[in-house]
Amino acid sequence: MDNTEIADRLETFAMMLELVEANPYTARAYRRAAETIRGAAVPVADLVRRNRVRELRGVGPGIEARLRELIETGQIAELSELERELSPDLVGLGRYLGLSARRSIQLARSLGVRTAGELREAAAAGRLRDVPGIGAKTEAQLLEALAREDGPGPRQGLLLNRARELVGAVAAAVGGEPAGDVRRWRDSCEWLAVVCAATEPEPVLDRFAALPQVVALVERQERRAVGVTVEGVPIELVVAQPNAYGTELVRATGSPAYVAAFEPLPHGRDERGVYAALNIPWCPPELREQPFRGQPPPLVEVDDIRGDLHCHTTWSDGRASVEEMGRAARERGYDYMAICDHSPAVGAVRGLTPDDLRRQADEIGAANDVLAPFRILRGIECDILPDGRLDLPDDVLAELDWVQASVHGGQRMPAPEMTRRVEEALRNPSVRCLSHPTGRYINRRPENALDLERIYQVALEEGVALEVNGLPLRLDLSGGHVRDALRAGVEIVCSTDAHSVVGLENMTLAVATARRGWATPANVVNTRPLEAILGPRAGRKAGT
């Protein structure tokens, strides 16, 4: 059994665990192990036989036991059992149609069908109306959704990190590259697409249809197929003629408005060729939301970032120590990092008192001795209390190198009060950055009622930066807000809000979101050297 086969089985197992709504951490662990195994340079079966498989990242005792079972018996018994009970294609198609997993399974049982194809047949034969609980209205909706070519319309997208993982795995498996919303780094991805080149499309389409991530095909044409994932999100594969690969990649990357503005697209083997034929400069995918023919600005890149200014440790709700976080940041090539643990008012987790902060300073000092010239800054993520005061005394805040101010509790305030609350916090001379300014959770919680234009003005006057928080659920500010903030003259910080060493990887998401807002290195505070970070804040008010 080779690494790809092993990885495919683990990936399927992860998907099945998700289907039965098992512990999401378990499913994620199997998915991560599958990824490691897919990229491993040595045969994993050998590692298992030689009792060395735990040396692979993400393989613990539980996964090792499953791998041993798979190598020795050719199957994972629990997975085979799940596969007998559940039909992922049916659940995927059901979700695509707007049904919950449970509802799809009930529907299938009542109809006596096992696959997505059989469900379609039963629906076409008018059998849906015999199912208890399916009224004429639901039947009509389902039939309409099944019949519509472009799918059932707006649905909840996937978070960017999950979408990138999924589309990346599918692209790697068919030898193509990610396109669609993922390539534009949208915060919630609804249109997943992969483009690859082949003279003969059939074998590639077959491979795509057989992938564990693609639970059912809803469409198949000569050079294109649409599958659905178990989450019910459609994923499109385009198999381009090699001499038109660039054309199909441009077409599958831009927003509909962007692509429409350039149709009919000229043929090109790669994107550069297509843009040259259009006689316009190549455009970074992040900017392909609205038609744009000009010279794009030099957008900020991950390599421009010199430090991460919002990170947690075991002092509050992080999982790594001060030194572990610092060392990991230094390994990423940064010059500095700010430790910003929580203040007491955050409530749900432990927050740091003034006394804790002074004790933490000793630990930071010791870590700096070891890691020099890399520098860990003393920071705090200080709650903004409902009345606009900060959660720690001014003299304590003034001792610190970097103060993030954050709204956590009491987010449902009306706009005038919320705006006053945040404004007052930004007026505190120790505050350097406003964390996750809108407080949204993507697809879960709307933005706080906040007059952002007013906040941009105050931030500008006071010389406070606004954060682009890289947590996949936040991405806050969003790309659109970044653009507005930059137009207002405000500076931004790209941060990860990392709660672990792995969390530092979310810098790619923060930077991509800033790029969607047209940010250049000059707009981003943490592209600057340490001295600039430690200097006094430079507000318009102070300067005039």
Residues that bind Zn ion (CB under 5 A): 381, 406, 497
Nearer to Zn ion, 104 or 406 (CB): 406
Length of the chain counted residue by residue: 544
Min CB(435)–Zn ion separation in Å: 5
Cis bond leading into 97, ω under 30°?
Answer: no
| Structural contact between residues 507 and 494, judged by C-beta atoms closer than 8 angstroms | yes
Nearer to Zn ion, 181 or 497 (CB): 497
Provide the H-helix boundaries in 410-464.
415-427, 452-462
- The pair phi, psi for residue 172, each rounded to 5°, is -65, -40
Min CB(341)–Zn ion separation in Å: 8
Min CB(383)–Zn ion separation in Å: 9
Min CB(408)–Zn ion separation in Å: 6
Min CB(255)–Zn ion separation in Å: 31
Cβ neighbours of residue 231 closer than 8 Å, sequence gap 6 or more: 92, 95, 158
Nearer to Zn ion, 111 or 346 (CB): 346
Rounded (to 5) percent helix, strand, coil in the chain: 50, 15, 35
Rounded to an integer, what distance in angstroms lies between the CA atom of residue 478 and that of residue 457?
Answer: 18
CB atoms within 10 A of CB 194: 27
Nearer to Zn ion, 96 or 334 (CB): 334
Min CB(526)–Zn ion separation in Å: 15
Nearer to Zn ion, 248 or 381 (CB): 381
**Which pair of structure tokens corresponds to residue 37?**
């195994």
| Structural contact between residues 242 and 273, judged by C-beta atoms closer than 8 angstroms | no
Min CB(84)–Zn ion separation in Å: 44
Cβ neighbours of residue 341 closer than 8 Å, sequence gap 6 or more: 312, 313, 315, 316, 318, 351, 352, 360, 380, 381
**HSE-up (13 A, CA, CB side) for residue 219:** 17
Nearer to Zn ion, 11 or 308 (CB): 308
Nearer to Zn ion, 192 or 492 (CB): 492
